[in-house]
Structure 1
Amino acid sequence: MIGKIIAGSSFGATVSYVMKEQSRILGFEGIEPPGVQDMVRDFKDQTLLNPRIKNAVGHISLPFSPKDADRLTDPAMAQIAREYMERMGIRNTLFLIVRHMDQAHPHCHIVYNRVGNDGQTISDKNIKIRNGKVCKELTAKYGLYYPKGKEQVRRERLREPDKTKYAIYDAIRSCLPRCKSWSDLEKRLQERGITTTFKYCGNTDRRQGVLFGMNGYTFSGSKIDRAFSFSKLDRHFSQAQRIVTPISQPRYSAQAVGNLSAAVSHYRSAFAGLFGSRSNSGESLDLGGFGVAGGIILPPGGYCGSIAPEQMQRRIGESHEEHIARITALIRQATEAMLIEQAERSRRIREQQTKKRQIKIHR
């Protein structure tokens, strides 16, 4: 959960936006939904109590991770939104909470009047700092998923050159755990249309920098991410080449292997139902080490709670049985995410078909 403060100067435009077609009202106070004009009138009338406030429009979006989709029922999201408002000091005023259903990630919008019911101002001082603090507190309280660093960035909203830079970041992050040398990384990135070139020290053959290119844009490793600077990647490969693979083969109970096999079967079925013919392409994970024949294909672009290869590695202090149980849970979670998306697509298709039939009837 990461709140986004949205600038707005018009209740008319803001309310019209949040009340889009694929939306549901989760809560309100002091206004009369569902008519947009009626709600806008109510919001505007209250601003007359304090005409000194130049911008009385408060608008905050609360996006959640797709990993929490199955838990975020309308009542649950409404409760979190109301508690968020209370902790942010948004109280004793008109507000509207609306859930949007047009994207894969669950999210809602809060529209409120910065002129309170008593004419006092709802302060927006340090609102971004307070927003970050409150979101972290609520994320911890409700056990929600909180992305870190570049995971927070909405890729679909990026423009060039940032769009390409983040595509390269995602590719390196995905490939790196399976690479033990520069040549391994270069080969895997080339398969994704990304070039790798090196900067050398003077006229020597000693490398001192790395550049990654794609779509006509070129970035140094450190510009993509500090963890991808030449020195840090070079250190990563040096350490990877010193790792000795254990000789002993872990043994798992028949029940644990059976649970994993069943989870894999359901995953493959959900994947085929969601992606169809694309199931023959894409990156795969081998499960042979767990005693399960074959592997699973990852959804394209990390879609629907995909499993990162590094998550498959056994953690320090984790027993073999705990390891396979965790992997089974990850696969089940990814399956649930794909089933939710499949159901949502079916619902959208039904709505479109219904609209078409209604149009024909009116004609």
Structure 2
Amino acid sequence: MIGKLKKGSSFAGCIRYVTGKDEAKILASDGVLLGTNAEIVQSFELQRQLNPRIKKPVGHIALSFKPEDKPRLTDDFMTKIAIEYMQMMGIIDTQFIIVRHHNTDNPHCHIVYNRINNESKLLSDRNDYRRNEQVTKALKSKYGLTYGTDKSNTNTRKLRNAERAKYEIHNAVKDALKGADSWQKFKNELAKRGVLLEFVYKDKEQTKVQGIRFCKDGYSFKGTQISRGYSFGKLNARFEGMENHVSPKSNSTLQYEQGYHKSNHEPSMSDSSQDPWDGISSIGLFASANAQTFESFPEDESSKKKKKKRRKGFSF
């Protein structure tokens, strides 16, 4: 079971999508006039006007389950899980509909809700990606639902752009680690598989490695965005252990940390004012990237400049 979260501005487009699939079935609703799509949309729009300043009042969550759980997932059971999920996520006292789809091998349903609640207040989305991960794990444990299997079994041909790159990097790293006992060998093995390994440094002189990132097809990911086990610290400990076992004198990790490989000049974060993580989203891929503990990265030099005063106001 995973949850994929989205926010939007158009109830009409969202309702048209969730009800337009073959054999789409509304499992439950509250505060919404059911009938035609126009009537459903109008119900949401009327409550939206209670707080017109909010630009994205549409809440949309897709709850997807493993095919192994399909025999158990009757309409009533799926509805029970979806409503319990909403309550645990704090989506209460507001309009919603729950729609089940049958167009994929994975049983799934869509929750469309109004982020403007019945009291005209905006539902909080603070740490919602982290809470989503915690809630789905709790429900899987409570009801004995199937956990995800090895990511290497994922059919990447069905994925798009950044998602595909992330899975391909994961598989490349997993394979490269089988034949690498040092950072240099690891980097070479990744290059054979079309993945570039870059080091992120703490200082401009590049004398201390702080983190790593993997690049493929124009996309960049921090190590922990691929897997928690692929952080610089954990990989560094792995290679140091191998080096101590093979030869006490061999210490390529220390050489990288002390900048002995400057001839290769691994780019630092301060070499560019552009954030390499912009535009990358990973909701619902692995554990949500927003829910992981990331390595800290150097502050962008541009952020140290004096910022212009901004007008006071609200932003959503």
- Please name the residue that 1:4 is paired with: 4
**1:97 equivalenced with 2:75 (yes/no):** no
Q: Identity across aligned pairs (percent)?
A: 37
In the TM superposition, what are the counterparts of 1:197-346 in structure 2 within 5 Å? 209-212=187-190, 217-219=194-196, 223=214, 226=230
Q: TM-score, normalised by structure 2?
A: 0.55
In the TM superposition, what are the counterparts of 1:68-217 in structure 2 within 5 Å? 68-147=69-148, 150=151, 155=156, 156-159=158-161, 163=164, 166-167=167-168, 169-170=170-171, 182=179, 209-212=187-190, 217=194
- SS of the equivalent of 1:53 reads coil
Q: Name the larger-Rg structure.
A: 1
- Please name the residue that 2:202 is paired with: none
Residue identity opposite 2:116 in structure 1:
V
In structure 1, distance between residues paired with 2:39 and 2:96: 13
What residue ranges of structure 1 are gaps of 5+ in the alignment?
186-197, 201-206, 240-363
Q: Greater share of helix residues, 1 or 2?
A: 1
Return the structure number with greater relative CO, CA threshold 8 A, min gap 6.
2
* TM-aligned CA distance change 1:235 to 1:38, over 3 Å: same
* TM-aligned CA distance change 1:165 to 1:45, over 3 Å: closer
- The structural deviation recorded for 1:232 is 5.0
In structure 1, distance between residues paired with 2:48 and 2:237: 57
In structure 2, distance between residues paired with 1:208 and 1:28: 53
The two structures, once aligned, show a CA RMSD in angstroms of 3.9
Residue identity opposite 1:9 in structure 2:
S
Q: Which range moved further: 34-43 or 217-226?
A: 217-226
How far does the alpha carbon of each residue in 1:159-196 deviate from its partner, in whole angstroms, 9 at most, with x for none?
26x635634644785999xx8xx5xx9xxxxxxxxxxx
Q: Is the 8 A contact 1:209 1:230 kept in 2?
A: no
What residue ranges of structure 2 are gaps of 5+ in the alignment?
199-211, 215-225, 246-316
- Please name the residue that 2:57 is paired with: 56
In structure 2, distance between residues paired with 1:141 and 1:114: 27
- The structural deviation recorded for 1:86 is 1.2
Residue identity opposite 1:133 in structure 2:
Q
Residue identity opposite 2:2 in structure 1:
I
* TM-aligned CA distance change 1:26 to 1:220, over 3 Å: same
Q: Is the 8 A contact 2:173 2:190 kept in 1?
A: no
- Please name the residue that 2:66 is paired with: 65
How far does the alpha carbon of each residue in 1:6-61 deviate from its partner, in whole angstroms, 9 at most, with x for none?
12111011111111222221111122334111100010011222334332211111
- Please name the residue that 1:30 is paired with: 31
Q: Is the 8 A contact 2:187 2:196 kept in 1?
A: no
* TM-aligned CA distance change 1:53 to 1:209, over 3 Å: closer
- Please name the residue that 2:220 is paired with: none
* TM-aligned CA distance change 1:54 to 1:213, over 3 Å: same
